Structure 1
Amino acid sequence: MILTVTPNPSLDRTYELPGLTRGAVLRATADRVDPGGKGINVSRAVAAAGHRTVAVAPLGGPEGKLLARLLGEHGIEAAGVPIAGSTRVNITLVEPEGTLTKVNAAGPDISEAEAERLLDAVRTRSAGTEWIACCGSLPRGLPPEWYAELVARSHRAGTRIALDTSGAALVAALRERPDVIKPNTEELAEAVGRPLATVGDALKAAQELCELGARSVLASLGAAGQLLVEGSGAYFAGARVDAVRSNVGAGDASLAGFLAAGGTGHAALSAAVAHGAAAVQLPGSVMPAPADLDLSAVVTTSDIPMDLALTEPSP
């Protein structure tokens, strides 16, 4: 079982538009609402693969109630922690050629008591858990050290931790030695304080984060592929994608595939790439099911293409 922790979940509303004109009244040709937040997306991908998953998240207001209901409809056990504020609503506008415009709300303030109840919910629901995936930005009220505390408590309970966050929260958590971190190119560059132009640059940056405390690094490098750096060595994998429909949640799908495949080694890396490649070919933030995966399209190697350029944003 994989337990996910999403400190700042959301309802993700997507509107498909014939065009985007500022100041005009726009009429959507289609719309949908999905449970959102990086950890929630990981749970959705795990559930789509037929595995058990529990999603721990602060839920407040009618938006939180709707989010809990949607999680149940996706086959996810919701471990909601009641909060005084309301769960945020994010908006995505999709133009016909695929251009996405996103409006992400800041989210509610989390009190000290609510933050402690969130940590306690992780403790009480983590029995028998193979992995705890802690994902996303921290909402207002939670200090950068909050993830570090969660990693420390989970390790004391004997549970492996995957961490997908950025900035000060990522740096603070490194001292507690998370079992795997999953930065994208921009987050990796931010963590080491310099731009990354090639896969070789990304490899060096990932090795530096391992020296700072990460036990392994799974780095999403956009169209270039994905890089895994761990104790047994470094591996690189990529897959050809003919047409990208949406990269929303693709990195979360990759992490779900990686953890579901064991969370270590080249086979898990291949699963991560297969999940990410499938996700970008699906609409909105739809998570791939097993029928969407094509492992035969994934090429995995320990011969890292050091000079391969990183030119596109990663999911």
Structure 2
Amino acid sequence: MIVTVTLNPSLDRAMEVGRLARGEVIRAREARLDPGGKGVNVSRALLANGVPSVAVLPCGGDEGGQLVRLLEAEGVEVLAVPIGGRTRSNLTLAEPDGTVTKVNEPGPRLVRAEFDAVTDVVLARAGSADWVVLCGSVPPGLGSDAYAQLCRRLRAAGLRVAVDTSGPALREAAAAGATLLKPNRDELAEVVGRPLPDVGAVVAAARELRAWGAGTVVASLGADGAVLVDDDGVVTGTCPVTRPRSTVGAGDALLAGFLAAGARGAAALAEGLAWGAAAVSLPGSRMPGPADLIRHNVTINTPLEQAPVHNTPS
């Protein structure tokens, strides 16, 4: 069983449009409303593929209630911690060529007592978990060390902890000894403070995170695939998508697939790539199930071969 923690969840409204043009009235071709947030998506992807998962998240206002109802309708076990603020809503506009424009609200302010309540719920539920996954942005009101604090307490309890966040929170999670980090290319470049023009540069940056204290690093590179760096060395892989529809949640699906497949080695990376590519082929932030996976499209490369990293969504 895998417990996910999303400190800043959302309602995600996605619309498919013919062309995005500033100042014009745009009529959507299709619209979806999905539960949102990185950890939420990890739980949704796991459950869609028969892997038990529990989602812990702070919820507030009518939007928070709607988020819980949407998750329960998908069969997700939700441990919702009431907060005084209103759960945020995000908007995604997807164009036919796969270009995605996102507008994300900052989210409600979380006070210390609310964060402590989330922490208590996580610690109480995580005792039998295979993994605890801490995901997403840190909401207003908390310091960048929020996930690091959780990570230290969970690691002290002997639990394996995966973290998918960005900025200072990513660096502090590495220093806190996260078992696994899952940045995308831009997040990895930001945290090491330099551009990553090729796979060799991505590998060097991942090794830097490991030197700070992290265990395994899986860096998602959008259409360029993903890189795995762990105690066994380096593995790279790709999984092309013929008709991309939305990149929202693709990295979350990749992480879910990697964890579901054992979180180690080429086979786990291949499964993660298959799940991530399947998510890209689906509308909005819909998570893939078994019928959506096309594993034969995955290519795994080991040992590492240098390859350019293009400016594609992660």
- TM class by shorter chain equals over 0.9
CA distance in 2, matches of 1:20, 1:276: 25
Look up the match of 1:86.
Answer: 86
- TM-score (ref. length: structure 1): 0.96
CA distance in 1, matches of 2:212, 2:97: 42
Q: What do the CA deviations read for 1:47-66 (whole angstroms, capped 9, x no partner)? A: 11012111111100000000
Cα distance, 1:300–1:29 mapped onto 2, change above 3 Å? closer
Superposition pairs of residues 33-182 of structure 1, within 5 angstroms: 33-182=33-182
C-alpha spacing 1:218/1:99, structure 2 compared with 1 (3 Å) = closer
CA distance change for structure 1 residues 294 and 94 in 2, over 3 Å: closer, same or farther? Answer: closer
Give the secondary structure class of the aligned counterpart of 2:247.
Answer: coil
Query: Match of 2:310?
Result: 311
- Secondary structure of the residue aligned to 1:256 is helix
1:220 aligns with 2:220: yes
Distance in 2 of aligned mates of 1:191 and 1:113: 29
Distance 1:17 1:209 in 2: 39
AA in 2 matched with 1:140: P
Structure-2 separation of matches of 1:220 and 1:153: 27
CA displacement, residues 116-147 of structure 1 (integer Å, 9 cap, x when unaligned): 10111111111211111111110001111111
Aligned length in residues: 314
Deviates more, 1:160-169 or 1:23-32: 23-32
> How much has 1:24 moved relative to structure 2?
4.3
SS in 1 for 2:272: helix
Contact 2:34/2:284, CA 8 A, preserved across alignment: no
Q: Return the letter of the residue paired with 2:197.
A: A
CA–CA distance in structure 1, aligned partners of residues 244 and 27 of structure 2: 25
Aligned-pair CA distance for 1:241 = 2.2
Contact residue 220 and residue 314 of structure 1 kept, 8 A:
no
SS at match of 1:134: strand
Distance (whole Å) between structure 2 residues aligned to residue 223 and residue 96 of structure 1: 16
Instruction: Give the Cα separation in 2 of the matches to 1:296 and 1:29.
Output: 31
- Displacement of 1:274 in angstroms is 0.8
Per-residue CA deviations over 1:228-276 (Å, capped at 9, x if unaligned) read 1111111111123222111111000000000111111111111111111
Partner of 2:202: 202
Aligned-partner Cα distance in 2 for 1:29–1:274: 27
Q: Cα distance 1:79–1:33, how it changes in 2: closer, same or farther (>3 A)?
A: same
Per the normalisation by structure 2, the TM-score is 0.96
Paired-residue identity, %: 51
Kindly state the Cα deviation for residue 97 of structure 1 after the two structures are TM-superposed.
4.6
User: In structure 1, how many angstroms separate the alpha carbons of the residues matched to 2:94 and 2:192?
Assistant: 34
Q: Is the 8 A contact 1:41 1:249 kept in 2?
A: yes
**C-alpha spacing 1:240/1:19, structure 2 compared with 1 (3 Å):** closer
Q: Go from structure 1 to structure 2 and tell me whether the alpha carbon gap of 1:270 and 1:29 turns closer, same or farther (over 3 Å shift).
A: closer
Report the Cα offset of residue 105 of structure 1: 0.5
Equivalent position of 2:231 in the other structure: 231
Do the aligned partners of 2:14 and 2:285 also contact (CA within 8 Å) in 1? Answer: no
Residue 253 of structure 1 aligns with an amino acid whose one-letter code is A
* Residue 96 of structure 1, CA deviation: 4.6
Q: Distance in 1 between matches of 2:284 and 2:72?
A: 20
Deviations 1:264-303 (A, max 9, x none): 1111111111111111111111111111112222122322
Which segments of 5 or more consecutive residues in structure 1 lack a partner in the other structure?
Answer: none
The equivalent residue for 1:16 is 16
